């Protein structure tokens, strides 16, 4: 230990392999050590406070220090600290949570399968889709579509679904039977003068051509985030989901709504599917299900999918899938309390009250010299940084501008997330107007400070 040093930063560099981090740079730079959280702020080990503009990783909806969640966890730990739901076993927290989720579902759903993360939930959805088509005697109908810049996780299957190059490079991904449709980003991908509606029509036509090229009898499902999160907070163009769902229905292709980021009020409705007019066959959720306090995720399936699983498990003798911690009673208890708080405190109404201010301040930054587009819905948004606003030319190298602004916002007591040259914002759902204004004031200061750095 003496050779390494006793500081948290030195021990971090010595022992932790960090996700989504430049590991080479980390050996020199080291970590920001977050020591505690309170409300919408976190504090580092020097006592410096930061407005958490990303709700950690899109998830701490109720902010830090919510005592009711602490008490829910402690009470359940004392009653039944751990148990499984394999082999006909169950427990009330898991039962209650499944019942509540079915009640809240945006479309009729039949059953809930529990996992521990969004990646696991989406990985489970992939397996269910394959299982379902085998049960129906369609062994060739297994191909799955996602979208360029979509994000669905980091397991072997879900990282393949994720349409971001660095999630594939040198991991030998994507795997077979997964391919990507076009990204519905009007700012970047529309043709000159093309309206949102015309762009959506073209995307639907391209999706149909892709399905026909693959063979409709081989295409099983399409994964869509209502609003694309880690790919840059891409809000689809008007009429997009209406048009692509018509294509999917025409060729009997299931729709999976990945609500890992959008679920539980983020977009101004309880589900992003409601905001965007989606009618999913499978819905996955995580993150804000427990306000990020404990790991838990869920997969909701239609009755048609459930009945097929029943038939296949009867034939095989078991449904051979599950996790040790599926519906972990403590995580389930915390999720139930989170849902109760959303309802009792009118969190969704609060989001609708403050979202206009959030979107107004966000979109005002479209006039900033470094910003090409400001986009978002509800309490989620992003700024795309460009070297030239007229031509939409990105900075060279791509990612440098995002890194510069990200560093300056952190210096200024605000945590955001740079995804390439898009700066994402996703504050806790409980943030108030004063803190929202402070968030955007700090972000504006950082953007102004970045001008001489990027153009000097």
Task: Split the chain (456 residues) into runs of 10 and give each run's mean pLDDT.
Answer: 75 96 95 98 98 98 98 98 98 98 98 98 98 98 98 98 97 98 98 98 98 98 98 98 98 98 98 98 98 98 98 96 98 98 98 98 98 98 97 95 98 98 98 98 98 92
Do 324 and 411 lie in a common domain?
no
User: Would residue 244 count as lying in a domain?
Assistant: yes
Centre a 10 Å sphere on the Cβ of residue 214 and count the other Cβ atoms it contains.
15
Do 182 and 262 lie in a common domain?
yes
SS3 352: helix
User: Would residue 9 count as lying in a domain?
Assistant: no
Centre a 10 Å sphere on the Cβ of residue 190 and count the other Cβ atoms it contains.
18
Rounded CA gap, 198 and 184, in Å? 12
Range of the domain at 92: 69-344
Do 124 and 88 lie in a common domain?
yes
How far does the chain reach from its first CA to its final CA, in angstroms? Answer: 44
Widest pairwise Cα distance in the chain: 69
Orientation of helix 347-364 relative to helix 433-455, angle to 10°: 30
Q: What is the pTM (predicted TM-score) of this model?
A: 0.97
Do 140 and 217 lie in a common domain?
yes
Q: Domain with 434 in it: what CATH number?
A: 3.90.1150.10
Domain count, the chain: 2
Question: Which of residues 344, 371, 386 is at a domain's end?
Answer: 344
Rounded CA gap, 41 and 365, in Å? 23
Question: Which of residues 344, 379, 407 is at a domain's end?
Answer: 344
Do 162 and 191 lie in a common domain?
yes
Q: Domain with 315 in it: what CATH number?
A: 3.40.640.10
Beta bridge partners of 111: 301
Rounded CA gap, 296 and 287, in Å? 7
CA dihedral sign of residues 209, 211, 216, 222: negative
Specify the long-range contacts of residues 417-423, CB closer than 8 Å, at least 24 apart.
417/54, 419/230, 419/231, 419/232, 419/382, 420/232, 421/384, 421/385, 421/386, 421/394, 421/395, 422/232, 422/233, 422/382, 422/383, 422/384, 422/385, 423/382, 423/383, 423/385
Orientation of helix 329-344 relative to helix 92-104, angle to 10°: 40
pLDDT computed for residue 456 by the predictor:
77
Do 190 and 276 lie in a common domain?
yes
Do 153 and 299 lie in a common domain?
yes
Tokens of 124: 């489970």
Bond into 233 cis (ω within 30): no
pLDDT computed for residue 1 by the predictor:
42
Do 77 and 157 lie in a common domain?
yes
User: Would residue 2 count as lying in a domain?
Assistant: no
């Amino acid at each position: 230990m003496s050779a390494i040093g006793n500081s948290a930063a030195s021990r971090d560099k010595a022992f932790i392999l960090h996700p989504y981090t430049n590991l080479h740079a980390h050996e020199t730079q080291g970590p920001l050590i977050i020591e505690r959280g309170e409300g919408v702020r976190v504090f580092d080990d020097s006592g410096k406070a930061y407005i958490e503009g990303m709700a950690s990783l899109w998830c701490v909806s109720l902010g830090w220090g919510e005592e009711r969640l602490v008490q829910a966890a402690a009470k359940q730990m004392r009653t039944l600290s751990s148990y499984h739901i394999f082999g006909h076993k169950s427990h009330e927290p898991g039962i209650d949570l499944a019942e509540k989720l079915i009640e809240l579902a945006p479309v009729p759903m039949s059953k809930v399968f529990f996992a521990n993360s969004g990646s696991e939930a989406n990985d489970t959805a992939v397996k269910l889709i394959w299982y379902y088509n085998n049960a129906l005697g369609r062994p060739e109908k297994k191909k799955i579509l996602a979208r360029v810049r979509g994000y669905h996780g980091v397991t072997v299957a879900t990282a393949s679904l994720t349409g971001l190059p660095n999630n594939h490079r040198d991991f030998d991904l994507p795997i077979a039977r997964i391919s990507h449709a076009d990204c519905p980003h009007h700012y970047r991908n529309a043709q000159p003068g093309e309206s949102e509606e015309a762009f959506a029509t073209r995307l639907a036509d391209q999706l149909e051509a892709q399905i026909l090229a693959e063979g409709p009898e081989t295409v099983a499902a399409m994964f869509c985030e209502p609003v694309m999160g880690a790919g840059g907070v891409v809000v689809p163009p008007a009429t997009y989901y209406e048009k692509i769902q018509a294509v999917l229905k025409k060729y009997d292709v299931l729709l999976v709504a990945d609500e890992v980021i959008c679920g539980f009020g983020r977009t101004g409705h309880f589900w992003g599917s409601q905001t965007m007019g989606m009618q999913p066959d499978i819905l996955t959720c995580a993150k804000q299900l427990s306000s990020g306090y404990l790991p838990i995720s869920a997969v909701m399936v239609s009755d048609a999918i459930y009945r097929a699983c029943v038939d296949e498990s009867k034939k095989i003798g078991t449904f051979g899938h599950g996790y040790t911690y599926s519906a972990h009673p403590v995580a389930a208890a915390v999720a139930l309390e989170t849902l109760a708080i959303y309802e009792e405190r009118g969190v969704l109404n609060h989001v609708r009250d403050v979202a206009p201010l959030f979107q107004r301040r966000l979109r005002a930054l479209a006039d900033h010299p470094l910003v090409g587009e400001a986009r978002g819905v509800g309490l989620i948004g992003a700024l795309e940084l460009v070297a030239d606003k007229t031509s939409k030319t990105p900075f060279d190298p791509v990612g440098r501008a995002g890194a510069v602004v990200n560093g300056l916002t952190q210096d200024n007591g605000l945590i955001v997330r740079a995804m390439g040259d898009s700066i994402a914002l996703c504050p806790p759902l409980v943030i108030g107007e004063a803190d929202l204004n402070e968030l955007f004031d700090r972000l504006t200061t950082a953007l102004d400070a970045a001008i001489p750095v990027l153009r000097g």
